[in-house]
Amino acid sequence: MKFAYFPGCVAKGSSREVEDAMRCVVKAVGIDLIDMPGAACCGAGVMKQGNHRLQLAINARTFAMAEEQGMDVLTPCATCQGNMYEDLTLLLEDEPLRSEINEVLERTCGMRFEGNLRMRHLLDVLVEDIGLDVIASKVVNPVDFPIAGYYGSPMLRASANGDDDPHNPVYFEDLIRALGGDAVDYDGRTASVGFPGLLSQEKTAMKMTASVLSEAKQEGARIMATACPLAHFNLDVYQVKAGKTTGKDTSMPVIHLPELVAYALGYNVDRYAQLRTRILVIGD
């Protein structure tokens, strides 16, 4: 099983742990990731506010790169997934727009986008293509504690989460249980934490972030795993500030989905031990 790999900017920058864990996960489940050197940022929900056609051209170029390899695109980032899925859908449905964007591609890089691919997120690939039974059979270190899964609203808003229900998704919870964990049910799992609003409306973003973290903790979560590295930035780096801004209890370890799966499948055992320590020290 091969995919053209689009890690997203965060996995290649401030959150290298996503990239490290992804390589472990795909090795464990038999996925080959084919890199796309030179693939550009998807726009992250920001670029289209200023110039959507520029974003469409950039993402169409990435799609064309994947098509040249005859592969679907796989990403570990819910923001990338939602953003690129929306652009892919728009280009497929609007032929005049697709022709316009292809003219730009042909003029600037000699490429052409045909639309013969799908955008996939790691979460739906694990559930739909690999299968929960297969994943459960590979678990070495059961993550036997209450875990709050956080989807990342861009992926759900775009209905870009495979065959899962975008209004009442279950894939993350099903995966947590397959890994030996106790999936925590809380409303905030599908809510936004305000990224990229953090850049211009920080106080509002802090309130949204605190709401998700505090509710998950109230419902018994000892740790949170997120399918979106950009949301992870709010939930992890800014959680103390979110707590101080709102007066809510936001103290909770927050890790990435690939990290959780990698730990459970026996990789990064030393970091897995640190994770348990973080749960005891930060989570209580």
Q: Which residues pair with 1 in a beta bridge?
A: none
Confidence of residue 45 (pLDDT cuts 50, 70, 90): confident
Calculate mean pLDDT across residues 26-32: 97
Confidence of residue 50 (pLDDT cuts 50, 70, 90): confident
Per the CB < 8 A criterion, the answer to whether 75 and 122 are in contact is yes
Percentage of the residues of the chain whose pLDDT score is greater than 90 = 82
Nearest-angstrom CA–CA distance, 229 and 4:
19
Q: Token pair for residue 167?
A: 């209004």
- Bridge-based pairing of strands 32-35 and 73-75 is unpaired
Residue 203 has pLDDT above 50, yes or no: yes
**CA-based torsion, 111, 117, 119, 125: positive or negative:** negative
Residue 22 has pLDDT above 80, yes or no: yes
What mean pLDDT value characterizes the chain?
92
Closest by CA to 44, choosing from 257, 196, 203, is: 196
Per the CB < 8 A criterion, the answer to whether 73 and 151 are in contact is no
Residue 273 has pLDDT above 70, yes or no: no
Q: Which residues pair with 119 in a beta bridge?
A: 73
Confidence of residue 105 (pLDDT cuts 50, 70, 90): very high
Confidence of residue 284 (pLDDT cuts 50, 70, 90): very low
pLDDT of residue 279: 58
Confidence of residue 276 (pLDDT cuts 50, 70, 90): low
Q: Which residues pair with 121 in a beta bridge?
A: 75
For residue 179, count CB atoms less than 10 angstroms from its CB and return exposed for 0-12, middle for 13-18, buried for 19 or more: buried
Q: Does domain 140-282 have CATH number 3.40.47.10?
A: no
Helix (H), strand (E) counts: the chain: 13, 8
Q: Which residues contact 196 (CB under 8 A, 6 or more apart)?
A: 44, 45, 46, 230
pLDDT of residue 65: 98
140-282 shares the fold of 2-121? no
Domain boundaries, the chain: 2-121, 140-282
Confidence of residue 274 (pLDDT cuts 50, 70, 90): low
Q: Which residues contact 62 (CB under 8 A, 6 or more apart)?
A: 6, 36, 39, 40, 42, 73, 84
Residue 281 has pLDDT above 70, yes or no: no
Calculate mean pLDDT across residues 255-260: 94
pLDDT of residue 11: 79
Nearest-angstrom CA–CA distance, 15 and 258:
12
Residue 10 has pLDDT above 80, yes or no: yes
Calculate mean pLDDT across residues 58-86: 97
pLDDT tens column, 165-183:
999 999 999 999 999 999 9
Task: Return the CATH fold of 2-121.
Answer: Glutathione S-transferase Yfyf (Class Pi); Chain A, domain 2 (1.20.1050)
Q: Which residues contact 60 (CB under 8 A, 6 or more apart)?
A: 87, 91, 98, 101, 102, 105, 113
Q: Compute CA distances 181 → 172, 185, 196, 249, whole Å.
A: 11, 13, 30, 23
